[in-house]
Structure 1
Amino acid sequence: MTSPAPTIGQALAQARDAGLARLDAQLLLGHVCGLSRTGLLTNDDQVLPAAQLARWQQLLARRLAGEPVAYLTGRHEFHGLTLHITSDVLDPRPDTETLVDWGLELLARLGRPARVLDLGTGSGAIALAIKHRCPSAQVSAVDFSAAALAVARANGARLNLDVDWQPGNWFENLAGQRFDLILSNPPYIAEDDPHMPALRHEPRQALVSGADGLDDIRSLVRQAPQHLVAGGWLLLEHGHDQGVAVQDLLRSTGYREVDRRLDLADHVRCSGGQWPAAGN
């Protein structure tokens, strides 16, 4: 005898019993049903039609296998913006909003239209959040991956936010250009990091950077002064245990006012410094 189709409430309870986080279950089932989280609660006795049930079971299995919710729904909320996401880009983390907030603080302090660069833009999350909150800024964004850059361009067009999208490996196509603020969430995971299997659904080239995870950060710290105006800032996201190493790199290279910012778990997640004016 065939089991009756579950209601929305029963489907959410089954997902919880299977070990899925409540928010993940609500986001996935809401995506399937076309309902908000509030809509799910107010329609919890609604029976899932066969097509929706099949889709829900498929997405539930993929999420339980570790695939990020953003890849399953194709969207992610970041700093007040809804971004379209594919497996060609990293799933934006809430902790990266810390980097954006710090950048916005510096831009507000500047008191004039600024030139801003986002390196390794991926979905365009950082660049678009900066442009959204600071419309006067001239924002450029770079990514080595053509597929990632296509995702970022599409997000910019859909959100009607004007960003100069550039292909390239870090600074290679930016000769002679200087910026007031450079931000990056670069790869920073060590090659043998034990957490890599849990990240297997995300693009490896956007995650891994050498034996200690700092190869790309070293390169950015070294090259950025050629592209910063006097008094310009470089801000970097990094691993929770890399703050001291990144700050030492910044100081030894000649950056001043080296500082840090904490993520939502109170780990040092971002470090940055100011490139001094000549003679300082």
Structure 2
Amino acid sequence: MTAFTIGQIKQRIQQLTNESARSSLPSFWLTDWLLFVIDKPSSFLITDEGYELSERELEQFHAGVKKMQQGTPLAYLTEQQEFWSLNFKVNEHTLIPRPDTEILIEQVLTWIQSQPKSADKDKKPKRLLDLGTGSGCIAISLAHELKQKLMSCSGESWQVVAVDLSLEALKVAKHNAMVNEVADIEFIQSSWYGALSTHNEPLFDVIVSNPPYIDEEDEHLSRLVAEPISALSAPNHGLADIEHIVQHAPQYLLQGGLLAIEHSFDQGDAVRQLFLNRGFESVYTVQDYGGNDRVTLGPLL
């Protein structure tokens, strides 16, 4: 096989970028994939253009490019994705964490920080529930922040419970908790609230979820060949799972506790109404970085 240098591969990446300008293949995926294959920092592409890829590296690079052109996201090739300053393992059993989901983290932390703090030194730990945890990115990021920042400021401690129906997803989430050194999370296999008991169990101060919310008839779903569709789409124009979560939340949420849900850009009005119908107050929707409705939240009356 003909040897290729970094400089030649960079030229090839430019060609592929030009060819993919009309497709959904992000250009930075190609460079990031090359760096992953050769296991070098980004500066290496500038300082060592004469580096020759080995036969194995070249084969791996081209094989990955082909998979990406066929619709496989870069994160599934590298099996990792950064989110909220942490690094998460992902695979075909989990969704890839999106930057817009960080809005959910920000809003929940802001709400928690705004709550009055108890002066009771013997106060019990507060509790947070993450429904449909997937890779664990929401539960782990929140647990990390609550321990690293809020606990040091207020002395409050938090217990996090994360549930998912998929055992394979829970394996990934447990791994991510371990590598990110977040220990205060209980992982439970459950279809939403199904495995949680309302008898003799303390209620939650916060419930969060990024559930499936894409309409089952959405034409864009056919382009997603790698991510689990069951974690993306839902009946009733994408609102079925959100409606279930909101409907049953009062059974598991303390009075005054927060419910926060991520949803589609066109579901803000409908989700706010679901909240109001179930007794939530001061309900509001926050937009994502693109200016689209993305997270609705409100405390329980």
Q: TM-score range by the shorter chain?
A: over 0.9
User: How do 1:46-125 residues align onto structure 2 when only pairs under 5 Å count?
Assistant: 46-110=51-115, 111=117, 113-125=125-137
In the TM superposition, what is the alpha-carbon distance from 1:149 to its structure 2 partner?
A: 0.5
Matches of 1:37 and 1:97, distance apart in 2: 25
The DSSP-based 3-state class of the residue aligned with 1:172 is: coil
Corresponding residue number in structure 2 for 1:220: 245
Corresponding residue number in structure 1 for 2:204: 179
Matches of 2:236 and 2:252, distance apart in 1: 27
Corresponding residue number in structure 2 for 1:230: 255
Letter in 2 for 1:67: T
> How many corresponding residue pairs?
274
Structure 2 unaligned blocks of 5 or more = 119-124, 148-156
In the TM superposition, what is the alpha-carbon distance from 1:131 to its structure 2 partner?
A: 0.9
Corresponding residue number in structure 1 for 2:161: 140
The DSSP-based 3-state class of the residue aligned with 1:230 is: strand
In the TM superposition, what is the alpha-carbon distance from 1:204 to its structure 2 partner?
A: 1.3
Corresponding residue number in structure 1 for 2:191: 169
Deviations 1:120-163 (A, max 9, x none): 00000000000111113211100000100010011112222121
User: How do 1:183-222 residues align onto structure 2 when only pairs under 5 Å count?
Assistant: 183-222=208-247
Matches of 2:248 and 2:81, distance apart in 1: 32
Name which of 170, 180, 186 aligns with 1:159: 180
Matches of 2:8 and 2:158, distance apart in 1: 48
- The answer to whether 1:7 aligns with 2:12 is no
In the TM superposition, what is the alpha-carbon distance from 1:57 to its structure 2 partner?
A: 0.3
Q: Is the 8 A contact 1:180 1:229 kept in 2?
A: yes
The DSSP-based 3-state class of the residue aligned with 1:95 is: helix
The DSSP-based 3-state class of the residue aligned with 2:99 is: coil
The DSSP-based 3-state class of the residue aligned with 2:294 is: strand
The DSSP-based 3-state class of the residue aligned with 1:37 is: coil
Matches of 1:259 and 1:41, distance apart in 2: 47
Task: Judge which range, 20-29 or 153-162, deviates more.
Answer: 20-29
Deviations 1:255-277 (A, max 9, x none): 1010111111111111111101x
The DSSP-based 3-state class of the residue aligned with 1:61 is: helix
Structure 1 unaligned blocks of 5 or more = none
Structure 1 segments, 4+ long, off by >6 Å, are: none
- TM-score calculated relative to the size of structure 1: 0.94
The DSSP-based 3-state class of the residue aligned with 1:231 is: strand
The DSSP-based 3-state class of the residue aligned with 2:92 is: coil
- TM-score calculated relative to the size of structure 2: 0.87
Task: Judge which range, 230-239 or 100-109, deviates more.
Answer: 100-109
Deviations 1:180-216 (A, max 9, x none): 1111000001111011022221111101110400000
The percentage of aligned residue pairs carrying the same residue is 36
Alpha carbon RMSD of aligned pairs, Å?
1.4
Deviations 1:96-143 (A, max 9, x none): 111111111112223465311110000000000001111132111000
